[in-house]
């Protein structure tokens, strides 16, 4: 599984106004826009004034004989080593080179752009001691579409995402490899020259200011939240399609039933499913006293509880992300009164925990989707559908192996749900003896979201086929819109065809937001009539 459908795209030329960076937090939407769509950034005058004022504090300490961490000392376990004044600038360049120690396949362009923007946002708070010219150079590199190659492995999620951020800073000083604006991999010095930019020579404290942050894991969290919020909306519709296909009832999604358990996410999913099934000829065909079944299986009846739990987890994670966006994370930091203080705010525990929570929820909502798919394929439980939705039973296997693929992904998602944040491994000669592993939590969540998109695609593809087998009964306007969109890329029931490309075609409908665009306006109209 690739990490995300959008993950390898290189940013296009921005067509909107730049994101204005002040001393306050950047929005989650702006982070996603810069990371995924190449939107430019601009440092505002208020931020430049704050950066300038704080830099004055650092300049005053640059020649001080007293030790100041990151200015006149070594780093980590070497913090007790005194650095003479004539070597303090070299200390910063050495820090970047040594900490850019990552290994493995480069991560996606959008992840790197996200972490660069978030680091720049912290620089703009005026609490890091960086020079204005360095902050402006970092912004210019981002705006030029120069994206450093950041290896997969290297961050422990404490002292920030050190190795990934150091790889980004390495490009700023004209070293290492980058993707240029065309997507080609070139030396950083060449890309800077082609863009009319000059490599930065770092001054005191600046190396630390460029690498001490939770920016990599936070960027991955923000993009995951954007993806998962949409996928959970899709899941409500795909589940409604399955309810129809299995001749389930919509009565269990009634608002008065869910008011008895006022979990917010559950109520939201139940309302969406009720709206999606409104006006369904299939549901109406078996409603009333002639329906002899007492209740549907859990995978239909309990869907709002499962989907809603994921929704509530997303809401919690979004609150944590919002607080992290409002943070100024560096070590040491320069306080408004001029004090330079060490701290532990770079520890990634808050972000790592919610990344893991989300991976657990993804595994759960994918699991219940697979159970609905399996039920549609089992002639003993599907209430009249042909075995495996085969066109010619025996000769054709229908969607039998699509469920295998779906089940295999769900098994992988359960493994990816094992928390990274419960682990820790000491580093830096036991000075950094507890770490968050938040970067790892972010990496596995991206993989999980790609898998979940594919699980939903299989359910939608299967439910669309099942709905066709229910003809002449008609689905609801909402589920019908979903089925009709699928039919624009995949033919209806017929003899067995190469199934893999059909699954991928529906995956693309989800990744391109086409499915959401097709069904959500219809759902909104249906809900307004209820």
Task: List the catalytic residues.
Answer: 69
- Distance (Å, whole) CA 368 – CA 235: 10
Burial of 38 (0-12, 13-18, 19+ CB in 10 A): buried
Using the structure block, give the residue that is written with the tokens 């002899």. Answer: 292
Angstrom distances, CA of residue 323 to CA of 26, 230, 314, 319, 471: 11, 22, 14, 6, 51
> Three-class SS string for 349-415?
HHHHHHHHHHHHHHHHHHHHHHHHHHHHHCCCCCCCCCHHHCCCECCECCCHHHHHHHHHHHHHHHH
Angstrom distances, CA of residue 47 to CA of 38, 53, 190, 321, 479: 22, 10, 30, 22, 49
- Distance (Å, whole) CA 388 – CA 512: 28
Q: Could you tell me the sign of the dihedral formed by the alpha carbons of 142, 148, 152, 155, in that order?
A: negative
The token pair at 219 is: 């960027």
> Three-class SS string for 465-488?
HHHHHCCCCCCCHHHHHHHHHHCC
Rounded (10°) angle between helices 303-325 and 264-277: 130
- Distance (Å, whole) CA 10 – CA 183: 6
- Distance (Å, whole) CA 353 – CA 9: 28
Q: Give backbone dihedrals phi and psi of 510, rounded to 5 degrees, phi first.
A: -75, -45
Nearest CA-CA partner of 389 in 499, 294, 286: 499
The token pair at 367 is: 């699991």
161 and 439 in contact (C-beta within 8 Å)?
Answer: yes
């Amino acid at each position: 599984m690739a990490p995300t459908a959008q993950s390898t795209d290189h940013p296009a030329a921005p067509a909107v106004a730049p994101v204005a960076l002040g001393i306050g937090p950047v929005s989650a939407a702006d982070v996603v826009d810069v990371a995924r769509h190449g939107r430019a950034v601009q440092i505002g005058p208020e931020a430049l004034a704050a950066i300038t004022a704080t830099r004055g504090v650092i300049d005053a300490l640059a020649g001080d004989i007293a030790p100041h961490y990151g200015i006149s000392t070594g780093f980590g376990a070497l913090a007790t080593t005194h650095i003479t004044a004539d070597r303090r600038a070299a200390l910063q360049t050495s820090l970047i080179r040594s900490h850019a120690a990552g290994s493995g396949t480069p991560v996606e362009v959008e992840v790197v752009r996200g972490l660069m923007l978030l680091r720049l946002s912290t620089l703009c708070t005026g609490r890091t001691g960086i020079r204005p010219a360095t902050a402006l150079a970092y912004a210019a590199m981002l705006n030029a579409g120069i994206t450093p190659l950041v290896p997969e492995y290297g961050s422990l999620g404490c002292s920030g995402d050190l190795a990934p951020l150091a790889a980004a800073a390495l490009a700023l000083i004209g070293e290492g490899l980058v993707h240029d604006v065309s997507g080609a991999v070139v030396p950083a010095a060449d890309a800077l020259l082609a863009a009319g930019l000059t490599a930065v020579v770092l001054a005191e404290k600046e190396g630390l200011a460029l690498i001490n942050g939770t920016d990599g894991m936070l960027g991955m969290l923000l993009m995951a939240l954007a993806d998962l919020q949409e996928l959970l909306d899709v899941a409500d519709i795909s589940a409604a399609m399955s309810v129809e296909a299995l001749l389930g009832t919509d009565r269990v999604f009634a608002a008065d039933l869910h008011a008895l358990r006022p979990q917010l996410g559950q109520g939201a999913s139940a309302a969406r499913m009720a709206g999606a099934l409104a006006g369904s000829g299939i549901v109406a065909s078996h409603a009333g006293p002639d329906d002899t079944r007492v209740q549907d299986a859990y995978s239909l009846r309990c869907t709002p509880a499962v989907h809603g739990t994921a929704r509530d987890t997303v809401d919690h994670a979004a609150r944590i992300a919002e607080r992290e966006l409002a943070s100024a994370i560096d070590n040491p930091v320069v306080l408004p009164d001029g004090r330079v203080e060490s701290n532990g705010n770079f520890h990634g525990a808050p972000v790592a925990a919610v990344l893991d929570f989300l991976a657990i929820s993804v595994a759960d909502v994918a699991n219940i989707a697979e159970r609905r798919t399996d039920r549609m394929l089992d002639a003993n439980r599907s209430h009249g559908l042909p075995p495996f939705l085969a066109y010619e039973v025996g000769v054709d296997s229908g969607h039998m192996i699509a469920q295998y693929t779906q089940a295999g992904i769900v098994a992988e998602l359960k493994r990816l749900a094992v928390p990274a944040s419960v682990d820790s491994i000491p580093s830096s000669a036991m000075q950094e003896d507890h770490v968050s592993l938040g970067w790892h939590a972010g990496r596995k969540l991206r993989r999980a979201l790609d898998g979940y998109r594919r699980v939903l695609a299989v359910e939608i593809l299967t439910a669309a086929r099942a709905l066709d087998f229910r003809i002449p009964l008609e689905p609801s306007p909402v589920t019908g819109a979903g089925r009709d969109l699928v039919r624009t890329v995949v033919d209806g029931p017929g003899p067995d065809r190469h199934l893999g490309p059909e699954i991928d075609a529906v995956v693309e409908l989800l990744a391109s937001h086409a499915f959401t665009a097709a069904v959500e306006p219809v759902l909104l109209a249906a809900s307004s009539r209820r």
